[in-house]
Amino acid sequence: MPKMTRFYEVGGPEVLRYEDVEVGEPGAGQVRLQHGAVALNFADTYFRSGLYPAQLPSGIGSDACGTITAVGPDVTDFKVGDRVTYTGAHNTLGAYSTERLIDAYTLIRLPDAIGFETAAAITMRGLTAAYLMRRLYDFKGGETVLLHAAAGGVGLLVSQWAKLQGLNVIGTVSSEAKAEVAKAHGCDYTINYSNEDVAKRVREITAGKGVDVVFDSVGKDTFEGSLNSLKRRGLMVCLGTASGQIPPFNPQILAMKGSLFLTRPASADYIADPVEKAALASELFEHVAAGRIRADITKRYELADAVQAHRDLEARKIIGSAIFTV
């Protein structure tokens, strides 16, 4: 019988429930999908904790891949047997499941060269890296970026892509083990934020100039240091809040620190256009298939072990990408 992880109240990992479910026939514009692998993303904890609102009871997870087993009326772009992947937000909640119904417009066709486990590891993270590197800022060779959580799933992909574009990458990590992984994936320098002053080290590395762009997925704990690491008129990209929400601040601080720019992008706004989504996915898959970008899966969980997976996520025990096997 199909299985699904749901939560009936917000809270810690213990609110997750692994249950039997009925999966019916697809309606208009839908397909039935047998999952081959499911992504584990830090953003999943935001829904579970209530940081991102969801109508309860709710499924969890927004990113998975598999094989289409049935198509509903009005579905013309896909057929039974197609291998597909997907990512989203509220529109794709319910990925922690063995089988599900899903709207066909969310799907991305998988090339034969990309296996299910790889697809689960790279779809959300890789499309995030793609829009950061190809849409958010007009990077020029020789520029320098500061990448927080450089040994995380997104960080490892961003650093590899940055090197393909000729950038210098400074990555922050919490341990020497993570520093080695980050360097192996393209970081030119690493800073251990556990015992080093990040902004001070950045100024030392850049001869006092600062970096062109900061990618900050940590939030509250790193926000001030990130601003202090930027060059005049540099760009601060707030990607997430793993350490907590950024407190309210006066925008005047951006002027005082060098007329800085700040953005808080959401992936959904960069893949809303099907043509743009397809273009970003195609470029990502080409890099991965050619070996120019690799996705290292360092941890695999059973779907029944979602509680432990979330505990490990929030304890920052995972290096690289983790997935659920199905």
- Do 218 and 318 sit in the same domain of this protein? no
Q: How far apart are CA 305 and CA 313, in angstroms?
A: 12
Q: Are residues 115 and 77 in the same domain?
A: yes
Average pLDDT over residues 20-49: 96
Token representation of residue 128: 């995030």
The pLDDT of residue 35: 98
Return the SS3 of 253: helix
175 in the same domain as 63: no
CATH of the domain at 39: 3.90.180.10
Angle (CA) 153 91 45, round 5°: 40
Q: What pLDDT band is residue 286 in, cutting at 50, 70 and 90?
A: very high
Please give the pLDDT value at position 202: 98
Packed helices 153-164 and 116-134: angle between N→C axes, nearest 10 degrees: 60
- What is the rounded CA–CA span in Å between residue 280 and residue 298? 25
Structure tokens at 66: 């598999």
Q: Say what the pLDDT of residue 244 is.
A: 86
Query: What is the model's pLDDT at position 318?
Result: 87
- Read off the CATH number of the domain in which 206 is found: 3.40.50.720
Same domain? For 97 and 210 the reply is no
Q: Is the peptide bond before 57 cis (omega within 30 degrees of 0)?
A: yes
Percent of the residues in the chain that have a pLDDT greater than 90, as a whole number: 89
Shared domain for 152 and 202, answered yes or no, is yes
Q: Look at residue 2 in the predicted model and tell me its pLDDT.
A: 97
Measured distance between the N- and C-terminal CA atoms of the chain, rounded to whole angstroms: 13
Q: Torsions phi, psi of 65, nearest 5?
A: -150, 165
The angle subtended at Cα 44 by Cα 83 and Cα 36, nearest 5°, is 20
Contacts of 202 (CB under 8 A, 6+ apart): 146, 170, 191, 210, 211, 229
- Are 272 and 260 within one domain? no
Range of the domain at 163: 137-264
Global confidence as pTM: 0.89
User: Can you list the positions of beta strands (E) in 21-118?
Assistant: 30-40, 58-59, 63-71, 83-87, 99-103, 107-109
Domain identity same for 96 and 165: no
Query: Does 230 lie in the same domain as 277?
Result: no
Tell me the pLDDT tens digit for each residue of 134-146.
999 999 999 999 9
Q: Are residues 58 and 173 in the same domain?
A: no
Instruction: Show which of 233, 264, 295 is a domain's final residue.
Output: 264
Q: Which of 191, 245, 194 is nearest to 223 (CA)?
A: 245
Confidence (pLDDT) at 22? 96
pLDDT at 241: 83
Mean pLDDT of the 109-138 span: 96
- For residues 60-65, give the mean pLDDT: 97
227 in any annotated domain: yes
| 189-192 vs 99-103, strand pairing mode | unpaired
Residue with the bigger pLDDT between 320 and 310: it is 310
pLDDT of residue 134: 96
Cβ-based neighbour number of residue 81 at 10 Å: 8
Q: Of 249, 264, 279, which residue is a domain's last?
A: 264
pLDDT at residue 321, rounded to an integer? 87
Instruction: Enter the tokens of residue 198.
Output: 């990040």
Please give the pLDDT value at position 194. 87
Mark whether 251 and 159 lie in a shared domain.
Answer: yes
Question: In the listed set 264, 297, 315, which residue is the last one of a domain according to the structure?
Answer: 264
Are residues 162 and 254 both part of a single domain?
Answer: yes
For residue 101, how many other CB atoms are within 10 A of its CB?
A: 17
Q: Does residue 132 belong to any structural domain of this protein?
A: no
Q: Do 221 and 148 reside in the same domain of the chain?
A: yes
Q: Name the residue among 204, 247, 210, 223 with its Cα closest to residue 148.
A: 223
| pLDDT band (50, 70, 90) for residue 88 | confident
Number of structural domains in the chain: 2
Confidence bin at 229 (pLDDT 50/70/90): very high
